[in-house]
Amino acid sequence: MTDKFEALVHFLISECENPARLGATRLNKAIWFADVASFKAYGKPVTDSKYIKRQRGPVPATILACIEKLEKEGKVAVTEPQENYDPRKFISLKEPDVGCLSERDIKVARHVLDVVINYAASELSEATHDLIWEVAEFGEEIPLVATLASTQGAITDSVTEWADREISRL
């Protein structure tokens, strides 16, 4: 786990004013979407996290270790659900150290968090069940570069013509 990953996790937890709106699924999705958005827009993710295919979508490989570390260091508190379908709650106890995050990283993270907390966890999970998630095996790594091909484009006449020209050229 990198310092940037830990900083992003703590930052997202601290930025969420209502811990009941975050929960584990939304936190995982916020990290995924922040890395994907930054990777697609700027060619570099916010963190260097590896993502693993799980039932509810891609999950950062080191998220549990990170939460445990933040909790042991007294930076966050975690409360377990009291009722079925209640989210796990993450509460920031200290200001996060975001010195390793750029202004762009923070801007991306805030934007993603603002979006993520307004959707049901199930909707966010469904949104991450795209083509790359479908072809991966459970427990397999989903590299961020695969997100560049996560949606299938239309095969138009111009695409077919281009392919024919390239085949002829080879």
Q: What residues make up the domain containing 99?
A: 3-169
Instruction: Give residue 150's pLDDT.
Output: 62
Residues of the chain with pLDDT under 50: none
The whole-model pTM stands at 0.84
- The pairing of beta strand 89-92 with beta strand 76-79: antiparallel
Instruction: Give residue 91's pLDDT.
Output: 95
Show Cβ contacts of residue 105 under 8 Å, excluding neighbours closer than 6 positions.
4, 8, 34, 38, 46
Instruction: Give residue 152's pLDDT.
Output: 60
Do residues 37 and 112 lie in contact, with contact meaning Cβ atoms separated by under 8 Å? yes
Instruction: Give residue 7's pLDDT.
Output: 97
Total domain count, the chain: 1
